[in-house]
Each structure stands twice: as C-alpha cells, then as structure tokens.
C-alpha cells in the first residue's frame, strides 16, 4: 500500500516543480511589460511568469511599470530575488484522509490567473463490492410480461451475483407517467382504474412509487413483486427520467449503502419524456433535483417538470449510480442515442418476456466495473473561469485524451489520471477565496475534491504596501529617501497626483507609459500626443503639448500653433494691412465687409463703385437713346450723377473705373465710374453701335409682336368657322371618311406589337390588340 502512495507523491513533486518553472525564458516583448501597469496586483493578472519588484530604488527613476516583468528579467535588471513578488503555483495534498480506491481524496492548489497545474489521481477497483440493485420498472399495461418474469428472476439473479459480489441486495420501485391530463385519461372512472375498458383491475397511474427498499431478503422481494399490478396511461413515452432522478437522490428511502456499488435497473418498453414535455400539461416549474417522497410516493410529479438529461446525469454521478437500461427491441435506438450523455450507463436489449434479464444484468455489471472513467464537476457559475484537461494513463499503457476513460480494467489494477487544472481569470467577488472542483470517478463512492485558491493579490500588499503602489508611505517605510523630502506630485498642491497619468513614487512623479507616445514633465503634465494636430504633427511641430493644449514657440500662435504672430503675410501691395479693408488674423486677411474677398480683401464686385451695380441705370439711359427725356426718367432708377460723353476718355484717374455693359448683341459698350468727392459719377459713352443695336432691338421686338398678333387672329377666325360647321346637324364628319369594302380589307383589325424586355436572354413577347372598326361605336 505504501509503495504506490509514495509514487503518487513523487509524481506530484515533479509536476509542481515543472509548473513553477514554466516559461521562465525571457523575451523582450513578454506580456508582463506592455501595456504598462502600475500595481503589483495588476502584474499578477498579467500571467504566471510575471513578477513585481518592490525593491527601493530599483532602476533609479524608472517608470513604475518597469517593475512588472518576468522574474529572470527583473533579476537581470538588478532586482534581488527577495524583493520580487512572484507567488508560486502550489499543490498540497491532504494525506490525512485515508481511502481505498481514490487517491488523493483532497488536494489544495493555489493558482494565479493564467496559470495551470497538474497532479495525478489514482483509481482502483476492488475485487468484490457489496452491490445494491434497484429495479425501476415501468408498470404501464404493456409491461405485464416483464413483471411476470421478475417474479421468478429474483432468486436466480441473486445467486448468480454471489460470484461477483460480496453482498447483493435488491429493491423495487415502479413508475408510469405524470398522473395529469393529457398523459392519463382523467375520466373519473379511469382515474382509479385506467384499464376499466378491458375489464381488468389496474392501479392508478403514478409518477414514481418506491415499493421496497434494498434488502437481502429475496423472499420478501419476490413477495412484493407478486403483489404488483400494472397501470395505464395515454401517451407513448413514460416518465422514466422523473423516476430515475428520485431513485438516485432519495438515498435513505431507497436504502443505498455508501460502501456498495449502486445499480439502477430501468426496465421499460417506451422512450421517456424529456425536460420540456410537461409544458403540455401546464407544468412549468423546472425540476429542483431534490428528493420528494412522502409515504413512498413522489409528490411533485404534477408540479415539477421532468428533469433535463444534464440534470439527471449530474445526479446519477453525484450518487455514484450505474444505470442499466433494459429496453425492448423497438425503443433500443432511442436509448442508444441517449447513452453517451449519461455517464456510467449500460444499455441492453430485453428479449421478449424478459427472458435474458439475468444475463443482461450480469453482463452490465461486469462491463460497468471494467470501465474506469472520471468526470469533472465545477460549480455552475465558476465553469467559465477554469479549464480542466485530463489524460487517462490506462493499465495497458495507453494514454487517452478527451474521453477520460480506460476500458477492460480488471479488479486491483491501478488507473492513473493526469489532471491539469488551469485558471483563466480571478473571481469577480473578492470573498470567493476558494473554489471546489470535484473529480468524480463514475460509479465510485469516493471522489477527489480540489480546492482551488486563486492568488489574485500581492502578499506585499498585505504586509504594508508594495513599493510604488502607494508612493510616499512606502518610501518612509524603507526610510532611504528621508522624510525631509517634500511630496511634490501635484502642481500647486491641487488636482490629481501626477495629472492622473502617473504614480507618485517617493514624492516624485513616475509617469505612465502610453502606447500613443511619451508622457513627461514634472507632474506628467506633458505628452506628445493629446494636442491638436496640424500637418500631421501635434501642435504643427511648432510647440509643446501641455495638458492637451499647445504651447507655441515664439512667432507662432493659435490652437495648433499654425498662425504666425507677425502680420507680414497680410500686407497688400500698397503697404496697408488687408488693403485697409480688414484685419490680419492668423496670417490671413479677414475682411470687414463680407462682400469683399481675395488675399488682401481687394476684390469686391458688388461694392460701391462696382460696375454691375450700375447696369440698370446705364440700360435705362440706353433705352431712351440718351435723350433728355430719358435722363429725367431714369433719375428714378439712378441715384448717381450721369453724364453722356462721346467717348470714354483714354486715360483714367485713380478714382475711376471702366466698365463694360452687356447688350443683346454682346456688343460691349463702355461706361466709366468716377468718384468725385465720394459721389459716384457715371460717364456713358454714346457710341453709335450701342445706339443702333438698341434701335435694332426695338424694331425686332415690334416685328415679333405684330407677327404674334396676326397669328392669333388667324387662329381665332378658323376656330369660329369650325364651330359654326359642327353646329349644322345634317351631316356628321364620320360620313366624310366613309370607306368602301375594298378599302376595308386594308384596314387591319388587329395591330401587332413586338415588345422586347430585358432578361438573361432577350425574350420576345407578342401582344395582340383588337382594333375597332372605324364606324364601330363605344359600347
Ligand atoms: C424475509 O421475508 C419474508 C417474507 O416477507 C419473511 O417471512 C422472512 O422472515 C424474512 N427473512 C428475514 C431473514 O428477514
Ligand atoms: C466506499 O466503498 C468502499 C468499498 O466498499 C468502502 O470500503 C469505503 O468505506 C466506502 N467509502 C465511503 C466514503 O463510503
Ligand atoms: C402518509 O401516511 C400517513 C399514515 O398512513 C397519513 O396520515 C398521511 O396523511 C400520509 N401522507 C400523505 C401525503 O399521503
Ligand atoms: C488539453 O490537452 C490537449 C492535448 O495536450 C491540448 O491540445 C489542449 O489544448 C489542452 N486543453 C487546454 C485547455 O489546455
Ligand atoms: C501531466 O500533464 C501535464 C500537462 O499536460 C504534463 O506537463 C505532465 O508531465 C503530465 N504528468 C504526467 C505524470 O504524465
Ligand atoms: C455705398 O456708398 C454709400 C454712400 O457713398 C454708403 O452709404 C453705402 O454704405 C455704401 N455701400 C457699400 C456696400 O459700401
Ligand atoms: C436729374 O435729377 C437731378 C436731381 O435729382 C437733377 O439735378 C438733374 O438735372 C436731373 N437730370 C436731368 C437730365 O434732368
């Protein structure tokens, strides 16, 4: 006995030391250092290889995140091992719990987020076990034959089992279905005797009735069986799973012995209802997985749903139940699909009249015991945080991954399971400092409890505060820096420490590292990335970024330092700033008059003195042929002084502007604007061509109007004549177009059109439209 225990412990030691040294190789881009972090706790989350150096003065003036790195890197950088917080992954075996089949029974592992550990679990089947077998029999009408068979099989089976078991006991329970509509007939006469139609006495349908607790008195068993009566229900599937769950969890009522192998023999000829089936009967409460027997009757049958397969599997495993399905040929396939979902299950074909029942049970027992399999049970809400990998090391030397099972294991042979448990993340609730994971061998009355203690906090944080974590206080604890050193982490003693972007270490700021750029400055107030960009550079490359605002070098100003301070860029040719029409803002002219534009506000087509403003006036004068009458008339549209001249003078004064005005012939006639003491004077050239064009234009207009008038008169005349004609009743216009028979033959009676519309292939469609004969009237 002792020798194999040593072997196990030896294994464990090897595994632990291997795990502790995992991934110690250094790499420049390891996950510990980037992105930067500032506390020891965060460092632990980084991965099992990361350590936190809390040595005072480590890497003098280094950024705080340099303290988190892989252990060899930290040592290389000069941190002494005793100052490195690097909680190891450990495994402790509780050797005080004795066991006969499963070793170890209890194990405690400490895991860091992202780390894993392995240990070996040993299992062995004993030579002989006490065996408790519980017959769970479907007593719906169709099972009469099987029930009869059971009356005789009891004694024979007990005798056969003596070869395999030290002590064999049997029990009995029956089930039908949920006694509620639509599963049973609820006619009053049918409730007490569902078989009344056939003149047979049946018992009422029931969810589950426990009849006989496991006993070694086979005479008693036979006596009870003989008293059994069949029952009846309506639908094909029965409530088998409901009854199985009760048989599994009602330990004391059934009388399962803790030291015995538990066999649950389910005999049925129909499939079972599944979890959601009972919604049909209005039952919506999910099964709670507990025992509900009162006076040996399952009381919640009509109140709770059928259990789900997962729930049933869990309860069978928890109560170390091996289930044996003895089903008839017809439903064999249905159960075959189900077996992989239920651990420790054997499926056998029941011959007619259950003739092979004895052999089936013996076969099942041998098979179930020769399969050694483990299952992992983790509390529901913890499942996401752990992963468990199991490798079975079978006695025949094979190693199987995935199906964690060894087959053909003989009694007294050892089976090893290499179990690797990894923790992905720390628990969300701080108080959950221990998580229980069970490794349950299927059908064994013992299991291994793994207590996982997550290591999510630095120990140095418990002692005082890790260096760097709390700045000043750690400094004084260590005492090196001297308490005389004033704390200087806030500008003017206000605002957050180190502008919220660094950590106060010994009264000085250690700025955070950012992937965007560098943070620097006495209070970490400066950086090179959070300011407005100009030409792809922060602050246009002409300033420094301080607290998100640009501080420009001299000569430049503006939010992005994009504005020259000197107004040189705004000086127009005449030496004035923006032609005197605006101000120089950020090296650009901002014109006072919104109508002005141009680099120096020099352009203003609509301003006073501009040509367009006076077109109306000039056109007015032109339309009056520059006559005296016109001059007076146009005084209304022209606000300026108008002078007619023969020609626009060749030379212009400074306050003059020459304009062209459009005429219908696009002949460009000219006028000139003069500014005389602030008043605009218009000089219009009286060019002959401008005049003639004007006359021509007028003549053209007159001719057009006359033509129009003439046309209208002709139309009016015609209309008058037509109206008069239609009013004469004697002859209709149709008669005028009377056609002869010969001509008729030429008039097609249908017209044919070919329409092509798009498709993958052009497709022609013919439409026939009946054409009305000429003298045919509308119906
Ligand atoms: C076994 O059961 C029978 C019938 O129920 C009873 O007469 C007999 O005394 C029991 N035997 C023992 C050993 O309990
Ligand atoms: C499990 O079964 C074995 C063998 O029958 C027995 O020796 C042991 O005491 C049982 N363990 C428990 C916890 O009941
Ligand atoms: C259980 O049986 C006892 C005695 O026979 C009876 O008084 C009690 O009402 C029964 N309980 C139920 C729930 O049937
Ligand atoms: C479990 O082991 C297999 C084989 O070694 C491996 O491929 C798989 O990734 C492991 N699972 C986990 C979660 O580590
Ligand atoms: C158990 O599995 C782990 C991880 O796969 C491996 O490192 C270790 O060597 C295995 N232990 C044994 C004893 O096979
Ligand atoms: C045009 O000139 C008149 C008088 O000279 C002045 O009252 C008016 O504001 C000017 N308009 C513009 C747009 O400059
Ligand atoms: C037009 O009116 C102004 C005053 O409004 C007047 O001085 C001028 O003589 C008039 N021009 C003509 C041609 O009548």
Q: Read off the pLDDT of residues 470-482 as tens digits, 9 standing for 90 and up.
A: 443 344 433 333 3
Do both 201 and 228 map to the same domain?
yes
Sign of CA dihedral 57, 63, 64, 65: negative
Give the pLDDT confidence of 96-143 residue by residue, as tens digits: 777 788 988 999 998 888 888 999 999 988 888 999 999 999 988 777
CB 352 within 8 A of CB 269: no
Query: pTM for the full model?
Result: 0.58
Query: If you average pLDDT over residues 511-528, what whole number do you get?
Result: 78
Range of the domain at 317: 131-369
Residue 527 lies in a domain: no
Residue 33 lies in a domain: no
Residue 319 lies in a domain: yes
Report CA(421)–ligand 4 centroid distance (Å).
11
pLDDT over 90 at 210, yes or no:
yes
Phi-psi region of 519 (alpha: psi -120 to 50; beta: other; left: phi over 0): beta
- Quote the CA–CA distance of 165 and 138 in Å, as a whole number: 27
Rounded alpha-carbon distances, angstroms, from residue 302 to 271, 279, 425: 19, 11, 42
Do both 692 and 750 map to the same domain?
no
The ligand with the least distance to the CA atom of 220 is: 1
Q: Residues near 587 by Cβ (< 8 Å), separated by ≥ 6?
A: 563, 564, 567, 569, 570
146-155, 667-676, 689-698: range with lowest mean pLDDT: 689-698
Give the pLDDT confidence of 593-651 residue by residue, as tens digits: 777 788 888 877 666 666 777 777 887 887 777 777 777 778 777 767 788 887 777 66
Would you state the pLDDT for residue 427?
76
Do both 609 and 736 map to the same domain?
no
Do both 219 and 357 map to the same domain?
yes
Residue 591 lies in a domain: no
Report CA(295)–ligand 3 centroid distance (Å).
6
CB 174 within 8 A of CB 206: yes
pLDDT band, very low/low/confident/very high, at 17 (cuts 50, 70, 90): very low
Q: Give the three-state DSSP class for 503.
A: strand
Do both 715 and 773 map to the same domain?
no
Q: Which of ligand 4's atoms lies nearest the C-alpha of 389?
A: 1
Measured distance between the N- and C-terminal CA atoms of the chain, rounded to whole angstroms: 115
Query: If you average pLDDT over residues 243-249, what whole number do you get?
Result: 95
- Please name the residue whose Cα sits nearest to atom 13 of ligand 1: 217
> Does the beta carbon of 387 sit less than 6 angstroms from any atom of ligand 4?
yes
Give the pLDDT confidence of 766-778 residue by residue, as tens digits: 555 555 565 655 5
pLDDT band, very low/low/confident/very high, at 213 (cuts 50, 70, 90): very high
> Does the beta carbon of 209 sit less than 6 angstroms from any atom of ligand 3?
no
pLDDT over 50 at 578, yes or no:
yes
Last residue of a domain, one of 728, 750, 769: 728
Q: Which of ligand 3's atoms lies nearest the C-alpha of 295?
A: 1
**Number of domains making up the chain:** 3
Q: Which of ligand 2's atoms lies nearest the C-alpha of 445?
A: 1
Pocket test for ligand 1, best of 220, 221, 224, 225 (most atoms within 8 A of CB): 220
Residue 5 lies in a domain: no
Do both 649 and 778 map to the same domain?
no
Give the pLDDT confidence of 374-432 residue by residue, as tens digits: 999 887 777 888 999 898 888 887 776 666 888 888 888 889 999 999 988 887 766 56
Give the pLDDT confidence of 146-178 residue by residue, as tens digits: 788 888 888 888 888 888 888 999 999 999 999
Do both 294 and 239 map to the same domain?
yes
How is residue 377 written in tokens?
């049970």
Average pLDDT, the chain: 78
Provide the β-strand partners of residue 462: none
Last residue of a domain, one of 369, 403, 423: 369
Give the pLDDT confidence of 701-741 residue by residue, as tens digits: 777 788 888 888 888 888 888 877 766 544 433 334 444 44
The ligand with the least distance to the CA atom of 446 is: 2
Give the pLDDT confidence of 40-68 residue by residue, as tens digits: 888 888 888 888 887 776 765 556 777 88
> Does the beta carbon of 294 sit less than 6 angstroms from any atom of ligand 3?
yes
Q: Which of ligand 7's atoms lies nearest the C-alpha of 635?
A: 1
Do both 694 and 768 map to the same domain?
no
How is residue 480 written in tokens?
């090196």
How is residue 389 written in tokens?
């990998």
Query: If you average pLDDT over residues 501-512, what whole number do you get?
Result: 74
Neighbour count for residue 67 (Cβ, 10 Å)? 33
Residue 356 lies in a domain: yes
Would you state the pLDDT for residue 771?
57
Last residue of a domain, one of 340, 369, 398: 369
Do both 647 and 769 map to the same domain?
no
Report CA(418)–ligand 5 centroid distance (Å).
6
Do both 700 and 762 map to the same domain?
no
Would you state the pLDDT for residue 240?
92
> Does the beta carbon of 608 sit less than 6 angstroms from any atom of ligand 6?
yes
Consecutive H or E run containing 474: helix 472-478
Of the two residues 200 and 223, the one the predictor is more confident about is 223
Query: If you average pLDDT over residues 180-202, what whole number do you get?
Result: 82
Do both 652 and 735 map to the same domain?
no
Report CA(750)–ligand 4 centroid distance (Å).
82
pLDDT band, very low/low/confident/very high, at 529 (cuts 50, 70, 90): confident
Would you state the pLDDT for residue 694?
55
Q: Give the three-state DSSP class for 541.
A: helix
Do both 640 and 774 map to the same domain?
no
Residue 38 lies in a domain: no
Give the pLDDT confidence of 307-329 residue by residue, as tens digits: 999 999 999 999 999 999 999 88
Report CA(609)–ligand 6 centroid distance (Å).
9
Residue 386 lies in a domain: no
Query: If you average pLDDT over residues 245-261, what whole number do you get?
Result: 94
Report CA(632)–ligand 7 centroid distance (Å).
6
Which of 240, 248, 221, 211 shows the shortest CA–CA distance to 156?
221
How is residue 253 written in tokens?
């009522």
Pocket test for ligand 3, best of 295, 297, 299, 301 (most atoms within 8 A of CB): 295
How many helices (H) does the chain have, and how many strands (E)? Answer: 18, 40
Rounded alpha-carbon distances, angstroms, from residue 245 to 169, 242, 255, 283, 289: 20, 5, 15, 17, 7
């Amino acid at each position: 006995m002792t020798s194999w225990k040593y072997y196990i412990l030896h294994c464990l030691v090897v595994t632990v030391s291997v795990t502790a040294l995992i991934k110690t190789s250094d790499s420049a881009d390891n996950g510990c250092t980037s992105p930067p972090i500032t506390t020891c706790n965060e460092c632990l989350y980084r991965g099992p290889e990361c350590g936190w150096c809390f040595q005072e003065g480590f890497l003098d003036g280094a950024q705080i995140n340099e303290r988190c790195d892989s252990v060899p890197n930290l040592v290389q950088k000069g941190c002494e091992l005793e100052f490195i917080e690097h909680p190891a992954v450990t495994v402790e075996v509780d050797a005080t719990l004795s066991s006969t089949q499963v070793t170890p029974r209890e194990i405690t592992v400490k895991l860091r987020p992202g780390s894993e550990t392995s240990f070996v679990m040993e299992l062995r089947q004993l030579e002989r076990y006490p065996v408790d077998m519980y017959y769970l029999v479907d007593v719906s009408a169709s099972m009469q034959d099987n029930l009869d068979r059971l009356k005789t099989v009891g004694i024979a089976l007990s005798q056969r089992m003596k070869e395999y078991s030290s002590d064999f006991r049997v029990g009995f329970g029956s089930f039908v279905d949920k006694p509620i509509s639509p599963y049973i007939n609820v006619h009053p006469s049918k409730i007490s005797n569902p078989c009344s139609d056939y003149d047979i006495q049946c018992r009422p349908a029931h969810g589950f009735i426990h009849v006989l607790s496991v006993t070694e008195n086979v005479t008693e068993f036979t006596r009870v069986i003989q008293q059994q009566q069949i029952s009846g229900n309506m639908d094909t599937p029965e409530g088998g799973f409901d009854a199985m769950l009760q048989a599994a969890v009602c330990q004391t009522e059934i009388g399962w012995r803790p030291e015995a192998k538990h066999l649950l023999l389910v005999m049925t000829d129909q499939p079972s209802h599944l979890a959601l089936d009972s919604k049909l009967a209005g039952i919506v409460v999910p099964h709670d997985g507990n025992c509900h027997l009162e006076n040996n009757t399952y009381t919640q049958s009509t109140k709770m749903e059928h259990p789900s397969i997962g729930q049933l599997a869990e309860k069978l495993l928890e109560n170390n139940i091996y289930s044996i399905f003895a089903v008839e040929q017809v439903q064999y396939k249905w159960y075959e699909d189900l077996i992989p979902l239920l651990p420790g299950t054997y499926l056998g074909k029941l011959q007619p009249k259950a003739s092979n029942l004895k052999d089936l049970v013996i076969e099942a027992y041998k098979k179930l015991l020769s399969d050694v399999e483990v299952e992992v049970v983790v509390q529901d809400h913890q499942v996401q945080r752990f992963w468990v990998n199991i490798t079975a090391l079978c006695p025949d030397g094979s190693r199987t991954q995935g199906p964690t099972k060894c087959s053909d294991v003989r009694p007294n042979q050892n089976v090893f399971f290499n179990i690797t448990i990894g923790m992905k993340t720390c628990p969300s609730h701080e108080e959950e400092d221990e998580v229980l994971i069970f490794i349950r061998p299927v059908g064994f009355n013992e299991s291994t409890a793994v207590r996982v203690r997550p290591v999510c906090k630095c120990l140095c944080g418990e002692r005082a505060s890790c260096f760097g974590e709390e700045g000043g206080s750690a400094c004084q604890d260590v005492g090196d820096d001297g308490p005389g050193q004033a704390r200087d982490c806030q500008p003017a003693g206000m605002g957050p420490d180190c502008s919220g972007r660094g950590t106060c270490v010994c009264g000085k700021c250690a700025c955070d590292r950012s992937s965007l750029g560098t943070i620097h400055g006495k209070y970490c107030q400066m950086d090179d990335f959070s300011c407005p960009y100009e030409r792809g550079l922060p602050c246009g490359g002409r300033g420094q970024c301080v607290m998100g605002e640009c501080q420009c070098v001299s000569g430049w100003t503006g939010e992005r330092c994009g504005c020259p301070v000197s107004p040189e860029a705004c000086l127009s040719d005449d030496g004035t700033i923006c032609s005197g029409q605006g101000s120089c803002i950020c090296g650009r002219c901002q014109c006072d008059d919104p109508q002005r534009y141009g680099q120096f506000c020099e352009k203003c087509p609509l301003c006073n003195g501009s040509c367009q403003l006076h077109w109306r006036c000039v056109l007015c004068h032109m339309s009056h042929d520059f006559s005296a009458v016109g001059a007076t008339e146009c005084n209304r549209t022209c606000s300026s002084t108008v002078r007619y001249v023969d020609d626009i003078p060749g030379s212009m004064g400074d306050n003059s502007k020459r304009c062209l005005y459009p005429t219908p012939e696009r002949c460009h006639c000219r006028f000139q604007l003069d500014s005389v003491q602030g008043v605009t004077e218009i000089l219009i050239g009286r060019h002959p061509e401008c005049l003639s064009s004007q006359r021509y234009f007028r003549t053209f207009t007159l001719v057009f109007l006359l033509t129009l008038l003439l046309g209208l008169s002709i139309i009016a005349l015609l209309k008058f004549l037509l109206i008069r004609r239609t009013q004469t009743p004697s002859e209709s216009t149709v008669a005028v177009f009377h056609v002869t028979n010969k001509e008729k033959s030429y008039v097609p009676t249908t017209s044919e059109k070919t329409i092509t519309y798009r498709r993958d292939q052009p497709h022609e469609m013919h439409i026939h439209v009946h054409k009305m004969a000429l003298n045919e009237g509308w119906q």
